[in-house]
């Protein structure tokens, strides 16, 4: 299935080795949050056991140690996304805050009534609502790029939306509900040709593929630590230094203007990044891609199962509906079999509306999942048909 030693990797994740309802846990909800390797857990514990102190401007040893680890994590983030400078890496609570920060700070400085922001029809609510609220406040028009039945953006429609009132394009790199990987380099090229900056919601792509912000050409990019095997409450907004330096503060107070940060979270994020770098993002992407293809072939061969989202370029997400049962009933039966998937609209209600469905069941893959776990999923789906069919 690929060049990573998944059985050895699974030993790094203590949580995976338990039973749920008397069955081995099969954790397939990685788009919601990922599990944490022992090295991440140890890094957080080590901070609190040995180095806990507030960061920056402390003259005592513990504060210096905490500051060194906190800033070392920032350098790990810079390296991981190949950002030009550490100062372009801003810690936030997660992708939601990263998107809100750009909407609030960049938006309020540069947008005026009648301006337009372009998003897509497959966005997570975190990349819809901030722009809706700003739209109400400032009189901004939100333009929405549609997508086809396979879940692929209509780029001609996008290009046609770009005009002299367009002030920002903010798009998801990989859809959490469909798995679609959008052609963001092309989107950036088209937007930049019109002088329009681009923000990437990379919450679902940074954990699963190599990301190079300089190669992508974006102007902002945000992601959440808890989705790339790091702790909750910590994430990153990357932005071009010239843009960030021109933006007004998002929050004010002491400590680098935003109060005491999530020091342990940042250190845990740094440990997660080093863990992933040791395995290799190219290898992880290839492994998850092969696993997703394996699952897609099996699920699409089951009568009464329909996969929602069949883009040619797609990450490790298998959203599906069944003739036999509602998504929530699917999820309940799967849980009884020890299998964790997410059911609902996945904070992507426009996607559900596009397909005319209320909800899907979504299996989303991580680097520790296996073909045997996909087989268990298929067996449990057969169980759903037995119970509800």
Ligand X SMILES: Cc1ncc(COP(=O)(O)O)c(CNc2co[nH]c2=O)c1O
- The percent helix, strand, coil of the chain (3-state, each to 5) is 45, 15, 35
In the complex with ligand X, the residue whose CB is nearer, 308 or 324, is: 308
* Minimum distance, C-beta of residue 208 to ligand X, in the bound complex (Å): 11
C-alpha to C-alpha distances, 105 to 81, 97, 111, 251, nearest whole angstrom? 23, 12, 10, 9
Cβ pair 326, 359 in contact under 8 A: yes
Phi, psi at 55, each rounded to 5°: -100, 165
- Within its chain, how far is the Cα of 161 from the centroid? 26
Residues in the chain: 389
In the complex with ligand X, the residue whose CB is nearer, 67 or 104, is: 104
* Residues at the contact surface with ligand X, assessed by CB under 6 A: 31-32, 94-96, 124, 126-127, 172, 176, 201, 203-204, 224, 226, 342, 346-347
261: left (phi over 0), alpha (psi -120 to 50) or beta: beta
What SS3 class is residue 145?
strand
Three state DSSP letters for 291-346:
HHHHHHHHHHCCCCEEECCCCCCECCEEEEEECCCCHHHHHHHHHHCCEECEEECC
Cβ pair 269, 77 in contact under 8 A: yes
The reply to whether 347 belongs to the active site is yes
* Minimum distance, C-beta of residue 155 to ligand X, in the bound complex (Å): 19
Two tokens at 4? 């990573």
What SS3 class is residue 44?
helix
What SS3 class is residue 33?
coil
Picking from 108, 167, 97, the residue whose alpha carbon sits closest to that of residue 134 is 108
* Minimum distance, C-beta of residue 103 to ligand X, in the bound complex (Å): 13
In the complex with ligand X, the residue whose CB is nearer, 66 or 151, is: 151
Catalytic residue among 6, 32, 39, 347: 347
Q: Which residues are catalytic?
A: 347
């Amino acid at each position: 299935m690929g060049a990573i030693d998944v059985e050895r990797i699974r030993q790094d994740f203590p949580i995976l080795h338990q039973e749920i309802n008397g069955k081995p846990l099969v954790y397939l909800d990685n788009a919601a949050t990922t599990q944490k390797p022992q090295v991440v857990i140890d890094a957080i514990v080590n901070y609190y056991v040995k180095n806990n102190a507030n960061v920056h401007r402390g003259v005592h040893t513990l504060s210096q140690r905490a500051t060194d680890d906190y800033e070392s994590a920032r350098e790990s983030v810079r390296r991981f996304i190949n950002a030009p400078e550490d100062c372009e890496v801003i810690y936030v609570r997660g992708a939601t805050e990263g998107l809100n920060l750009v909407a609030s700070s960049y938006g309020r400085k540069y947008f005026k009534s009648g301006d337009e922001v372009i998003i897509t029809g497959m966005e997570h609510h975190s990349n819809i609502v901030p722009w809706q609220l700003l739209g109400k406040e400032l009189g901004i028009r939100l333009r929405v790029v549609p997508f086809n039945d396979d879940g692929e953006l209509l780029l001609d429609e996008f290009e046609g939306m770009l005009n002299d009132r367009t002030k920002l394009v903010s798009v998801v790199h990989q859809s959490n509900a469909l798995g679609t990987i959008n052609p963001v380099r092309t989107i950036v090229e088209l937007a930049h040709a019109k002088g329009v900056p681009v923000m990437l919601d990379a919450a679902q792509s940074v954990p699963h593929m190599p990301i190079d912000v300089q190669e992508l050409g974006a102007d902002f990019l945000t992601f959440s630590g808890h989705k790339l095997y790091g702790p909750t409450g910590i994430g990153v907004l990357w932005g071009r230094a010239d843009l960030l330096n021109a933006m007004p503060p998002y929050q004010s107070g002491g400590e680098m203007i935003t109060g005491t940060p999530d020091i342990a979270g940042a250190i845990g994020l740094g440990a997660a990044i080093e863990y992933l770098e040791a395995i290799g993002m190219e290898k992880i992407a290839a492994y998850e891609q092969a696993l997703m293809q394996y699952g897609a072939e099996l699920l699409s061969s089951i009568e009464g199962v329909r996969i929602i989202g069949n883009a040619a370029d797609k990450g490790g997400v298998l959203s599906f509906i069944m003739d036999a049962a509602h998504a929530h009933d699917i999820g309940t039966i799967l849980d009884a079999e020890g299998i964790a998937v997410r059911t609902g609209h996945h904070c992507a209600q426009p996607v559900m509306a596009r397909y005319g469905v209320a909800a899907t069941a979504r299996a989303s893959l991580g680097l520790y999942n296996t073909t045997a776990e996909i087989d268990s999923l298929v067996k449990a789906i057969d169980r759903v048909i037995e119970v509800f069919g």
